[in-house]
């Protein structure tokens, strides 16, 4: 009897874990942007709190948002630049990749 009482919570925890993973996969279109937004909010909160000491709240929020927009713009610019550098070399990379796959298959 005692063994069964320990097994039930373990099985229940495993079932709940699988259900939570399934739920997150099924709702990833909604949960991923929310998780990303939460991560960004937690990341910039100390900076906004520091700005709040010296500036009005609306101005500190505006500064943090402008800073985030600038950082994202730099990141997107870096991605575009990298894509422009890699794009002309894609046919060569594709041929080398096919040769690599053929050597693995053979």
pLDDT in tens, 51-90: 999 999 999 999 999 999 999 999 999 999 999 999 999 9
pLDDT score of 3: 64
Contact between 55 and 63 under an 8 Å Cβ cutoff? The reply is yes
pLDDT score of 8: 87
Residue 97 pLDDT greater than 80, yes or no: yes
Does a structural domain hold residue 62?
A: yes
Please state, in angstroms and rounded to a whole number, the distance separating the CA atoms of residues 12 and 18. 10
pLDDT score of 63: 96
Does a structural domain hold residue 14?
A: no
pLDDT score of 7: 85
Does a structural domain hold residue 66?
A: yes
pLDDT score of 4: 64
Sign of CA dihedral 69, 72, 78, 84: negative
Instruction: Specify the pTM.
Output: 0.60
Among 46, 50, 44, smallest CA distance to 68 is for 44
Does a structural domain hold residue 75?
A: yes
For residue 81, give its domain range. Answer: 30-105
Please state, in angstroms and rounded to a whole number, the distance separating the CA atoms of residues 72 and 89. 26
pLDDT score of 30: 94
pLDDT score of 2: 62
Does a structural domain hold residue 58?
A: yes
45 backbone dihedrals φ, ψ, rounded to 5° = -60, -45
Report the domain count for the chain. 1
Does a structural domain hold residue 89?
A: yes
More confident residue, 32 or 106: 32
């Amino acid at each position: 009897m005692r063994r069964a009482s320990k097994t039930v919570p373990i099985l229940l925890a495993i079932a709940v874990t699988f259900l939570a993973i399934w739920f997150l996969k099924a709702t990833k279109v909604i949960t991923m942007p929310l998780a990303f937004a939460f991560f960004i909010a937690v990341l910039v909160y100390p900076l906004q709190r520091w700005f709040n000491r010296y500036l009005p709240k609306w101005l500190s929020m505006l500064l943090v948002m402008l800073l985030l927009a600038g950082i994202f713009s730099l990141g997107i610019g870096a991605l575009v630049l990298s894509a422009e550098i890699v794009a002309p070399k894609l046919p060569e990379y594709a041929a080398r990749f096919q040769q690599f796959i053929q050597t693995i298959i053979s």
